[in-house]
A and B are shown apart, each in its own frame.
Chain A
């Protein structure tokens, strides 16, 4: 770009922008820039927090390649992200669409769907372990006759079985989609009625209305939920930690990346290595988010951009 003198208007806009963003500029310097740089430095050291860090060059990063648990936890996390994020969006959207129908009692239904996302984790984990109990849990009590009649054999062992522990955690995470659901619902109620009415006059069927009017209109919110979901999935931690008391079992099947990172940092106190793990995670998330942004650019529609 060739430099040109900034007009008075541009300068005014610059100052206004900086003024509006000043809280976060201060926040970035104080609570982010310094800690991030510190963590980058630590990732090249051996550091246990209480003793001064010792520079060891790229040894931490080099060790990653040989760290079986690094790969295992990365694979578990990818599994979770690839399945839980899209499924979560579909479920939250479906619930929001249902709640947006003009039928009686929606206030009550909305509350019901939202409740799970506000139950404290301590209580909800106790509950879900019970629901997923392979022998006496409510889920298998429902599945057993169903699968029996279809000749599918025994229902899954959930947390007792390394193959089914991740699907169980995904199901649990779906129970807490209330947050995304609210975002979609807020967006759906913004869809101008005139658009629908026009479409109805055109005789557009409901599927077409959804696909060509509703979805494009709420696409910014979908992108938001997708990105937040992706970041959340990469940093997925608390439920796995609570469910398995930090072990990531059975057979490492619920050892997610952040859980491993947490163990390295606060059980083994290998802060340097934990920072290296965190930076790799950071870069991965950054790459995936950029990809998501890039690929969605044509699909997302902002009314305000006047396109």
Chain B
């Protein structure tokens, strides 16, 4: 018992040693960067940080892996609430406006002006995504062109389709999908396309909704337009696949492993899909022999041709963070300098959002990447910039789910999404107005 006691005291003493908060070490300002780059991206991100540290020996850069799910939100928000935020934080692009609204970030407008960074330096949707209520809140770290439409040339050949002729219209797409679908008895062995499975149900409806010529939000009037007739048409088209191929059977094709990297296109279960730019590396890693092509997403003749939207991660400075100058310098370097953005591209395979990045020149002639670059250059959309964005994504996802499983008609499901989200949004704008009138 006594021995245990002294052991305890010793431990207590060792532990107390770490109890000091550190924003400066040996005269070097500390810049802690909470990031999401685990898995296959870990190595690349480490390279970026090491390069920056070498070039800036006067500061101490501390990358901290902070995972990537809702638990990370918890970590970050509790830290800001307790006034202990890191110096730099990674934000998922569509979340920037919400985080700004909630008071988790500090505006970068002045810093951008000083550094001469303007909206013309970035692909338009990237900049739009980071602007909220007249301020700039984050810088784009990577601009994901969502999506490249890929088709399995081998499968096309097998069923007698021309492997060099990917579908251009929705009618084409339906025809190819039908031809590519393989059954064994009652079971589906391969399906042409799973329209609602393009990186989650919400991202799927964004993708097809815009391709069908619809839109989701009107920033001028702050109206949510989830049941825009063209979005409804897109969902109706998605549901037609659920009817034709039986939704439970389709789900069994994609529920292989549940891990994020599980991709039915790789396993040959799906012959066509929308591919994220990180998917090129996955395909090279898991299915190096797969013969496929990348092109623009098909659209109906009266829809939006060559439609796409931008995704990806941004970097921001948390409210109340220490060492603002040093932190901003890092942000500027990775998001708006030739060396930084080139290294981001080389180390991660993702595209910088900064138009002048030499990396973008470099991929102009690289197979598959060249197509993704075109998609980014023509990109017109970003997910709605609004404070209730996470709720909107969840409601859209529920709408797709309900429609695909036949619980609600597409129109009713999307109407529900609009009404619920609009109510949430109005709550926030109303309280803004009240605050403006000098309320509590």
User: A interface vs B, CB < 8 Å?
Assistant: 46, 48-51, 54-55, 125-126, 129-130, 132-136, 154, 157, 159-162, 241, 243, 245-247, 249-252, 262-263, 266-269
**B87 → chain A, closest Cβ, in Å?**
17
Contacts of A269 in B (CB 8 A): 77, 98, 102
In the assembled complex, the Cα of A54 lies from the Cα of B103 at a distance in Å of 15
Does B257 sit within 8 A of A, measured CB to CB? yes
Quick check: B255 and A161 within 8 Å, CB to CB? no
> Which residues of chain B have C-beta atoms less than 8 A from A161's C-beta?
248, 251
Q: Contacts A133-B256, A135-B188 known; list 13 others, CB within 8 Å.
A: A48-B103, A54-B440, A125-B258, A133-B252, A133-B255, A134-B252, A136-B256, A157-B252, A251-B402, A251-B405, A266-B71, A266-B73, A267-B394
Sample of 24 A–B contacts (CB below 8 Å): A46-B431, A49-B77, A50-B81, A50-B104, A55-B440, A126-B258, A129-B255, A133-B255, A135-B188, A136-B252, A241-B70, A243-B258, A247-B397, A247-B401, A249-B401, A251-B398, A251-B407, A266-B74, A267-B70, A267-B73, A267-B394, A268-B391, A269-B77, A269-B102
User: What distance in Å separates the Cβ of A153 from its nearest Cβ neighbour in chain B?
Assistant: 10
Q: Given that A50-B102, A267-B70 are known contacts, is A134 also in contact with B81, CB under 8 Å in the complex?
A: no
Shortest CB-to-CB span from A132 to chain B, Å, is: 8
In the complex, the chain A residue whose C-beta lies closest to that of B103 is A50
Asked whether B253 is an interface residue with its Cβ less than 8 Å from the other chain, the reply is: yes
Contacts of A135 in B (CB 8 A): 187-188, 249, 252-253
- Measured CA separation A50–B98 after assembly (Å): 12
At the interface, yes or no: B171 with Cβ under 8 Å from chain A?
no
Once the chains are docked, how many angstroms separate the CA of A243 from the CA of B390?
19
Q: Which residues of A contact B71 (CB under 8 A)?
A: 266
In the bound assembly, the distance between CA atoms of A53 and B162 in angstroms comes to 62
* Most chain B beta carbons < 10 A, residue from A50, A247, A252: A50
With both chains docked as a complex, state the minimum distance between the C-beta of B221 and any C-beta of chain A, in angstroms: 22
Q: Are B401 and A250 in contact (CB under 8 A)?
A: yes
Decide if B401 touches A51 in the complex (CB within 8 Å). Answer: no
Chain B 389-410, CB-CB to A under 8 Å as 1, else 0, gives: 0110010011001100101000
- A268 close to B405 (CB less than 8 A): no
Contact A266 B248 (CB under 8 A): no
B259 within 8 A of A: yes
Given A48-B103, A129-B257, A134-B248, do A251 and B401 touch, yes or no (CB 8 Å)? yes
Q: Is the CB–CB distance between A250 and B258 below 8 Å?
A: no
Interface residues of B in 66-100 (CB under 8 A from A): 69-71, 73-74, 77-78, 80-81, 98
Contact of B319 with A by CB under 8 A: yes
* Whole-angstrom distance between the Cβ of A170 and the nearest chain B Cβ: 18
Q: Which residue of B lies closest to A270 (CB)?
A: B424
Name the distance in Å between B136's Cβ and chain A's nearest Cβ.
Answer: 19
- Tell yes or no: B388 within 8 A of A by CB: yes
Most buried by A among B98, B201, B401, B424: B401
Q: How far is the CA of A268 from the CA of B427 in the complex (A)?
A: 13
Compute how far the CA of A133 lies from the CA of B249 in the bound complex, rounded to whole angstroms. Answer: 10
On whether the beta carbons of B255 and A134 are closer than 8 Å, the reply is yes
> What's the Cα separation between A307 and B169 when bound, in Å?
81
Residue of A with least CB distance to B390: A267
Provided the pairs A157-B248, A252-B398, A267-B390 are in contact, do residues A50 and B319 lie with their beta carbons within 8 angstroms? yes
A51 to B407, CA, bound (A): 39
Q: Which residues of B contact A132 (CB under 8 A)?
A: 255
If A267-B390, A269-B77 touch, whether A126 touches B259 (CB-CB below 8 Å) is yes
A129 to B256, CA, bound (A): 7
A160 and B258 contact, Cβ closer than 8 Å, known pairs A46-B431, A252-B398, A267-B394: no
Contacts of A129 in B (CB 8 A): 255-258
Q: Given A134-B248, A135-B249, A51–B103 Cβ distance below 8 Å?
A: yes
- Chain B residue numbers with a CB within 8 Å of A243 are 258
Smallest Cβ-Cβ distance to B254: which chain A residue: A160
CA of A154 to CA of B77 in the docked complex: distance in angstroms? Answer: 47
Give the docked Cα–Cα distance between A54 and B69 (Å): 28
* CB-CB under 8 A for A262 and B70, given A51-B102, A133-B255, A243-B258: yes
Q: Which residues of B contact A246 (CB under 8 A)?
A: 69-70
Residues in A neighbouring B424, C-beta threshold 8 A? 268
What residues of chain B lie closer than 8 Å to A133, measured between beta carbons?
A: 252, 255-256
- Tell me if B102 and A49 are in contact (CB < 8 A): yes
CB pair A250 B398 closer than 8 Å: no
Chain B residues contacting A154 (CB-CB under 8 Å) are 186
B186 contacts which chain A residues (CB < 8 A)? Answer: 154
CA distance A215 to B10 in the complex (A): 47
Q: Which residues of B contact A162 (CB under 8 A)?
A: 405, 407
The answer to whether B77 touches A50 (Cβ under 8 A) is yes
Enumerate B236-258 residues with CB–CB distance to A below 8 Å: 247-253, 255-258
Residues of B within 8 Å of A136, CB to CB, are 252, 256
Distance between Cα atoms of A162 and B397 in the complex (Å): 15
Is the CB–CB distance between B397 and A160 below 8 Å? Answer: no
Residues of A within 8 A of B248 (CB): 134, 157, 160-161
Contact A49 B81 (CB under 8 A): yes
Contacting residues of chain B (108-163) with chain A, CB-CB under 8 angstroms: none
Chain A residue at minimum C-beta to C-beta distance from B78:
A49
Task: Give the chain A neighbours of B440 by CB distance below 8 A.
Answer: 54-55
Please name all residues of chain B whose beta carbon is closer than 8 Å to the beta carbon of A252 when the two chains form the complex: 398, 401
7 closest residue pairs by CB, A with B = A160-B251, A129-B258, A134-B252, A135-B252, A157-B248, A50-B103, A267-B390
> Cβ of A241: which chain B residues have Cβ within 8 Å of it?
70
Set B200, B252, B391, B407: member contacting A160, Cβ < 8 A: B252
CB distance from A248 to the nearest CB of B (A): 9
The one of A125, A247, A250 in contact with B394, judged by C-beta atoms closer than 8 angstroms, is A247
Neighbouring B residues of A54 by C-beta, 8 Å: 431, 440
**A residues near B249, Cβ cutoff 8 Å:** 134-135
Q: Is the CB of B102 within 8 A of A263?
A: no
Minimal beta-carbon separation of A249 from chain B (angstroms): 5
Bound CA–CA A249/B196 (angstroms): 13
Q: Which residues of A contact B256 (CB under 8 A)?
A: 129-130, 133, 136
Q: Which B residues lie within 8 Å of A247 (CB)?
A: 200-201, 394, 397, 401
Interface string of B158-194 (1 = CB under 8 A from A): 0000000000000000000000000000111000000
Chain A residues positioned under 8 Å from B77 (CB to CB): 49-50, 266, 269
| B427 contact set on A, CB distance < 8 A | 46
Select which of B74, B188, B258 is within 8 A of A130 by beta carbon.
B258
Contact present for A50 and B80 (CB under 8 Å) = yes
CB distance from A175 to the nearest CB of B (A): 16
